[in-house]
Amino acid sequence: MNYWLPTKFGKRIWVNDEAQIFLQLVTVFGVASLAVLASHALRMPSVVGFLVAGVSLGPHGLKLVPNLASLHILNETAIIFLMFTIGLEFSLGSISHLKKAFFGLGTLQVLGTTGAIALVMTLFLRVSPGAAAVAGYMIALSSTAIIMKLLQSSQEVASPHGNATLGVLLFQDIIAIPMMLSLPLLAGGQSSHLSNSPASILSVSGEFLAFVVVAAVGARIVVPRLLKVVAESRSRELFFFSVLFICFGLAVFAGRVGFSMPLGAFVAGVMIAGSPFGRQSSSEIIPLRDNFLGFFFISLGMLLDLKFFFLNIHGILALGVLLLLIKTLVTYLAATVVRYTEKVAIMLALILFQVGEFAFVIAQEARRLEVLSSDQFQYFLAISLISMIVSPLIFKVAPAIAERVASVGRGSKSSKWGKSSKGGKAGKDSEKEGYGLSGHAIIIGYGLAGRKSAEGFEAAKIPYCVVDLNFKVIKELKARGINAVYGDASRDEILEAVGADRAKVVLIAVAGRHMVPAIIAALDRHHCKGQVIVRAVFEREAEEILEIRSGIDVVVGEVESAKILAERALLAFGYSTESL
């Protein structure tokens, strides 16, 4: 189809489908940039800016983008990336480190919130059981994107409440998969080939289990060997595209055999998470996921019917307050039952109160299956968007509220509670990364300089970790029982894995001068307080490094070798450096 596009001079130009799509994308980029810039100026997460941009752009706003067709592929890609990274997070190691928050608090919070919301919706609001269950699913889930940004910006990821929040978010991300799979059953077979018969349920369950088993068995043979060959090439580009091939390849395969593409992406993530390449894969995909999620949130804002919102604003606000208060209360009670301190329990309840991004995926699928009506969808969409927008404000006042309520509850007694990652130990449960090390050394680049440094650390019995992009080296080090991580040290996920924020010394001995600034910037993002020692080949490199950040100890190979040459030449003439 072609379009006549009016201009300010009164003329019209002929625009085809492709040009129209690109014109709409340019409009999206421009409005989103302005909205995110404004949200940053107001010290709010980018998600808020994306949502506002979507509301402004959409068919119910300024109508600059009349439909979602141009964003559909980008929206689907964002969901696939989201599910893939959730699969990458699904490892027995991460769950074991967060078992109290994952198995205890996460289970109680999700099941308790879902049950309470569904009960209230069914008994008091006369909503159908299917729609009530979907409402429970949506409200129970929290926003990983918003919460992680807030925790990282306030340096509270390693605090007691930050650590517990990570466990709950991980559980929510994983439980969202069976929630999605249950939607056709909630539809009662009306919008699907499924029915509620025991045979149908067993058939679907069997197909799902068979798909997971086949994928897992294949993963133990194909994926590790493929990524091993790719990693040994030491080509970042080849590794990146190989991971994308696995992600989208299994997603397409899942779609072909009757499952959803996001489910295939999740299984692909689980497959890679069980290999030594999970960290590096995550570090490559997460930046892409975060950027594509911007389109996802924009498309959500475009779905909001502003006319419906303003006509029903009192009902939306009343229902939103009721449902979110139920979630907050259930989360607080769940944290208390699992024996978190009262202050941490209050913080958790306030941090997790908003509705998450995966709730929208569930809501859209529920509307497609006619489990939710159009009006019900708009109600929950509005409540969810409002909860996301006010979430940063709630997070900001949460410590003061928690302190006030906890002090009233305990009377004159004082309670111990770690405020942030700057404080003391967060307890056993907080040791989720970095092998539980603190005050250790990190060697980035295991060439000659890295090996010699490691020998010195071993002789002095100083604990250390090694980061390198040479998989053969990492494999050999692990075989010797040395803490080693395969990956790019300029990626946040890799530095988190070796506990960079707790290291006493970080030694950077990588080849390639362009890598050093990126690694230093990543260390700054992780608030690394340890001494940073960098190997430079030439003196001009040292000057460039010191321009990035002062206080770095730069060892220049050119200068050090020149000193040694001069010393040995003088010794040949019978002079000592001390006498001169």
Domains of the chain in start order, with CATH, are 2-403 (1.20.1530.20), 433-572 (3.40.50.720)
Token pair belonging to 345: 């329990």
pLDDT at 315: 93
CB 286 within 8 A of CB 107: no
Rounded to whole angstroms, how far apart are CA atoms 301 and 283?
28
Q: Residues 505, 508, 512, CA angle at the centre, nearest 5°?
A: 170
**What backbone phi and psi angles, to 5 degrees, belong to 187?**
-75, -10
3-state secondary structure of 382: helix
Burial of 63 (0-12, 13-18, 19+ CB in 10 A): exposed
Rounded to whole angstroms, how far apart are CA atoms 211 and 301?
35
Residues 6 or more apart whose CB falls under 8 angstroms from that of 223 comprise: 246, 271, 272, 275
**Distance, CA of 540 to chain centre:** 38
C-alpha distances in angstroms, 144 versus 79, 178, 226, 358?
Answer: 14, 18, 31, 9
Residues 6 or more apart whose CB falls under 8 angstroms from that of 40 comprise: 46, 49
How many secondary structure helices (H) and strands (E) does the chain include? 24, 8
Rounded to whole angstroms, how far apart are CA atoms 2 and 23?
13
Rounded to whole angstroms, how far apart are CA atoms 521 and 144?
24
- Does this model's pTM top 0.85? My answer is no
pLDDT at 412: 43
3-state secondary structure of 45: coil
Q: How far apart are the first and last CA of the chain?
A: 85
Q: How many CB atoms lie within 10 A of CB 415?
A: 12
Sign of CA dihedral 334, 107, 134, 380: positive
Q: Residues 78, 81, 87, CA angle at the centre, nearest 5°?
A: 145
pLDDT at 441: 93
pLDDT at 550: 74
**What backbone phi and psi angles, to 5 degrees, belong to 531?**
-70, 125
pLDDT at 93: 57
pLDDT along the chain (580 residues), means of 10: 47 56 82 88 82 85 72 76 77 66 91 95 90 94 84 74 86 85 76 52 63 68 83 85 89 76 81 80 80 82 89 94 96 92 90 89 88 92 91 89 74 42 37 62 90 90 91 89 88 86 90 77 84 83 76 80 79 69
pLDDT at 462: 92
Residues 6 or more apart whose CB falls under 8 angstroms from that of 541 comprise: 513, 516, 556
CB 534 within 8 A of CB 516: yes
Q: Write the single-letter amino acid at 516.
A: V
pLDDT at 1: 46
Rounded to whole angstroms, how far apart are CA atoms 6 and 142?
44
